[in-house]
Structure 1
Amino acid sequence: MTKLDRTDARMLLAMCDAPRATGVQLAATLGLARNTVQARLARWDQEKVLAPIDRCVAPRDLGYPLKAFITAVVDQHRLDDVIAALATIAQVTQVTGLSGAADLLIGVVATDADDLYRVAGLVLAVPGVERTTMSVAMHEVVAYRTRPLLEERARKP
């Protein structure tokens, strides 16, 4: 696990503001040596600090305006197979392991209500999925973000 320091946080905040900035531009903006910026960018690449670019593309822009979350109770002896099968469903955007009443939280997208019904059926048909409950996302109130954490880290010595 990578521990990001104050300079890393400042660089990431600058990249939030200007995602296509070059290393030279970042160095100038932050008052850092170009080699410092390049070394940190290389380290982030090696340690996979930054998420893949596909996480920045909204499913809505790809024709999937409907978002839902499915909680699933899974046969624990088949958990790895269930996860592998879910990963083959294109409309599954994320799968998170949970503690509590359900085992998995599955984010899905769909083109419309009929498509959502179809996708939910695909999830339920996965061998090892025992039961599911679905909630349709009505409105994203706070989108996934890390900027406040970066700002906090940038302030700490």
Structure 2
Amino acid sequence: MIDSIDRRILRLLDRVPRATVQYVAEHLSIARGTAHSHLSKLFEGRDLAPVSARLHPSAVGRPLRALVTAEVDQAKIEGLFEALEQIPEVVECTAISGQSDLWLEIVARDADDVYRITQRIMECRGIRRTATSLVLREMIPRRMAQLLT
């Protein structure tokens, strides 16, 4: 769990992502050692996502996003996630409950690229069927800062 100092640091990092330890200490009126200790814990633990997770897909030449749900044959699941990791355009894969088993976010250059990527997903051992929805517009971007108050 993150504490009140972590919360203050994270709110500051949202405003100034490249803040140094000294900057954090000065702007939050905490000791440099305290700032260093908390930043180390946040960055070395699993509390913060990799910096690349904040990139917009268009920055890497893939402006089109799609959400893919997949049904999986549980008897053939061995090696599935390793195979999905080999598809660079699969940027997230989550196990879900309900009618489908997996939720994947993919990024693509265009509609033809979405088709190519989903065909590649279908080739992965254990995938029975998929359904794809194109992301038309991001209405509320992923956010966590509101939970830090």
Same fold (TM over 0.5): yes
The aligned counterpart of 1:100 is 98
Residue type of the alignment partner of 1:101? Q
Give the Cα separation in 2 of the matches to 1:63 and 1:46. Answer: 30
Query: What is the TM-score when the length of structure 1 is the normalising length?
Result: 0.91
Residue type of the alignment partner of 1:84? E
The aligned counterpart of 2:111 is 113
The aligned counterpart of 1:28 is 26
For residues 113-156 of structure 1, give each alpha carbon's deviation from its aligned partner in whole angstroms, at most 9, with x where no partner exists: 11111111001111110011111111011111111111x2xxxx
Query: Among the aligned pairs, what percent are the same residue?
Result: 35
Q: Structure 1: any 5+ residue segments left out of the alignment?
A: 153-157
Give the Cα separation in 1 of the matches to 2:144 and 2:76. Answer: 33
Query: What is the TM-score when the length of structure 2 is the normalising length?
Result: 0.95
Residue type of the alignment partner of 1:48? R
Matched position secondary structure for 1:32? coil
Matched position secondary structure for 2:79? helix
Once the 2 structures are TM-superposed, how far is the Cα of residue 80 of structure 1 from its aligned partner?
4.2
Residue type of the alignment partner of 1:146? M
Give the Cα separation in 2 of the matches to 1:107 and 1:45. Answer: 25
1:17-96 correspondence runs (5 A): 17-96=15-94
Once the 2 structures are TM-superposed, how far is the Cα of residue 56 of structure 1 from its aligned partner?
1.6
The aligned counterpart of 2:120 is 122
Once the 2 structures are TM-superposed, how far is the Cα of residue 45 of structure 1 from its aligned partner?
3.0
Aligned residues: 149
Residue type of the alignment partner of 1:78? K
RCO greater where, 1 or 2, for CA within 8 Å and sep 6 or more? 1
Matched position secondary structure for 1:77? helix
The aligned counterpart of 1:155 is none
Residue type of the alignment partner of 1:132? T
1:131-146 correspondence runs (5 A): 131-146=129-144
Once the 2 structures are TM-superposed, how far is the Cα of residue 76 of structure 1 from its aligned partner?
1.0
For residues 49-89 of structure 1, give each alpha carbon's deviation from its aligned partner in whole angstroms, at most 9, with x where no partner exists: 22111112111111101110110000112334211111110
4+ runs of 1 displaced by more than 4 Å?
Answer: none
Provide the alpha-carbon RMSD of the alignment: 1.1
Judge conservation of contact 2:77–2:125 (CA < 8 Å) in 1: no
